[in-house]
Structure 1
Amino acid sequence: MSDLLTVTSIGEAPADFVRGAGSVVAEFAHLTQDSGNVSWLVDVGDRRLFVKTAGPDTPPPPGAAVPYFDHAGRVEVLRNAVVVARSCDHPALPRLLNVIESPGGPALVYEAADGELVGVRAAERPDPTSSYQRFAHLPSERLLGVFDVLVDLHTALAAVGWVAVDLYDGCLIVDHGTGSLKVVDLDGYRRGPSRNEMGRMFGSTRFMAPEEFELGAVIDERTTVFTLGRLVWHFATRLTESRSDFCGPAALAEVVQQAVQPSPEDRYAGVAPFAAAWRSARGR
């Protein structure tokens, strides 16, 4: 069995250990990752793993994306990701297989997710061959089926107290042929209601709730409801944001439009009632 799955502590840099533990298929470096994290896809025998670390404790080189956190902050959110993964067993979450402690923080070893990341850089979104465009133009039932799973996952997460933060299309890995979904990078999720202590919180403005821009505002399940609704509306209207292009029934469009009301008081009170209305409109 691979050391990546059995070793729980190392005395060297995670990068050196990972490169010696298998065949690196891809590296996602802090030069391109907005978070400042460094991750790898690694083949170990007939198994593919995804390993995520906090990256180096050094200033980013010129030209690097600006990290959300300093190194200590990145370590903290990775430890939060471990809590998220261990608190909820859902088929849409890639399994966390191991946590390896190192001088540079934990290395999280996940099963690799099959499929393509829906989110792409802004310049690539108009490209009809991009995963973003192909996802938005899946057959209606397959597209809505992906969102069935996303809503179900967040019902399970909310049941154990999690509120979505920084959930966007870059968290969705979809097999366009089967419609299977994996949701990744939930590191910033918060346990229970909290206050917006930042002003403009982390996330994509395309999917963020108004309270995620308001210092001191309450961040709770109604925030999750908004983001879920925005993801559905954006893609189920085939990127037009027009109700006339919504690919589901009128009853479902009404459910989603209530979810994305600007005032939290006008949305569903939580993920469970939103999910119940979603299932009813879907005839499930």
Structure 2
Amino acid sequence: MEYEGTTQTAIDNLNQAVTVYQDLRHENVINFVEKINTEDGIALVFDWFDGKCLFAHWTFDKWNRYTHPNSPYYKYRRLSLEKRLKSINTIFQFLSFVEQQNYVAVDFYDGSILYDFNNDRTQICDIDFFRKKPTVNDIGENFWGPKRFKSPEEYTLGAPIDSITNVYTMAVLLFGLIGGEADRSFEKWEGSKELYELVCKATLPERELRFQSIKNFYKEWELSTKNCKNRTN
């Protein structure tokens, strides 16, 4: 209802998305079933996943995301840290797979995360704009993605969009799931100091100072999580 583009552009984008969902078929992603052609356009069909979106912007006029008990984000933040760390592993595993498939996540944010509160399962959705590598920012400052998640290169025309960019994106997501979101102070962080330092490194504006791949970021994350558990046990 709020779409401002042309019908043909929408059709082209959906056709492109079919390839993405086929190439990135994974247990942690909503399952693409089929494409349906009609006289007026096309539709993509997915298996139902009984999860709630962590950035359900269509309900913000009904309740506050941070304080209302019906808000999925509010409910998620009140899960135990252990459950959220398990959920985070699911996201890391998927982004590692994306990297292995020579893709880069584009327009990936908390609105791409679904959580099933009854079964404590996490699924990824809305990966339509993921791209094959190599790719660059071909739009400029209005490159795909919410401003709160975008790395410096996602504002710069011609800048590389790659695994290093995804490291930044994942780290911003982590600040939202177990930290203070926009407030990136340690006081708002619920994990260990080790994990906090990893996420701070991953969000450095200088690309060369971040982790150079999701694989390396996830490896350090797992190691620090394990060390923390060993110390508490």
Coarse TM-score class (shorter-chain normalised):
0.7 to 0.9
1:154 aligns with 2:95: yes
2:194 aligned with 1:251? yes
Tell me the residue number matched to 2:65. 125
State the 1:110 CA deviation. Answer: 0.6
Say if 2:79 is the partner of 1:142: no
Aligned pairs for 1:199-278 (under 5 A) are 199=140, 200-239=142-181, 240-278=183-221
Which is greater in Rg?
Answer: 1
Letter in 1 for 2:169: T
Higher RCO structure (Cα 8 Å, ≥6 apart): 2
Residue identity matched to 1:248: G
Deviations 1:164-223 (A, max 9, x none): 111111111101343311111100111002121111212111111111111111111111
Q: Is the 8 A contact 2:21 2:128 kept in 1?
A: no
Tell me if the contact between 2:35 and 2:44 (Cα under 8 Å) persists in the aligned partners: yes
Q: Aligned residue pairs: how many?
A: 220
Aligned equivalents of 1:263, 1:76: Cα separation in 2: 35
CA deviations 1:256-277 (Å, max 9, x no partner) are 1111111211111111111211
Q: Secondary structure at the match of 2:13?
A: helix
| C-alpha contact 1:137 1:238 (8 A) present in aligned 2 | no
- Structure 2 CA distance for aligned equivalents of residues 193 and 179 of structure 1: 35
- Quote the Cα distance in structure 2 between the aligned partners of 1:261 and 1:187: 27
Could you state the TM-score of these two structures normalised by the residue count of structure 1?
0.72
Answer 1 or 2: which has greater strand percent: 1
Deviates more, 1:238-247 or 1:180-189: 238-247
Unpaired runs of 5+ in structure 2? 228-233
Partner SS, residue 34 of structure 2: strand
Contact 2:139 2:157 survives alignment (8 Å): yes
**Residue 225 of structure 2 corresponds to residue 282 of structure 1:** yes
Q: Percent of counterpart pairs with the same letter?
A: 26
Once the two structures are superposed, residues 225-274 of structure 1 have per-residue CA deviations (whole angstroms, 9 ceiling, x without a partner) of 11111000122115443212212222211221111111211111111111
Residue in 1 that maps onto 2:40: 104
Which runs of no fewer than 5 residues in structure 1 stay unpaired? 1-30, 32-64
Displacement of 1:102 in angstroms is 2.6
Per the alignment, in what secondary structure is the counterpart of residue 98 of structure 1? Answer: strand
Tell me the secondary structure at the aligned position of residue 46 of structure 2: strand
Aligned residue number for residue 126 of structure 2: 185
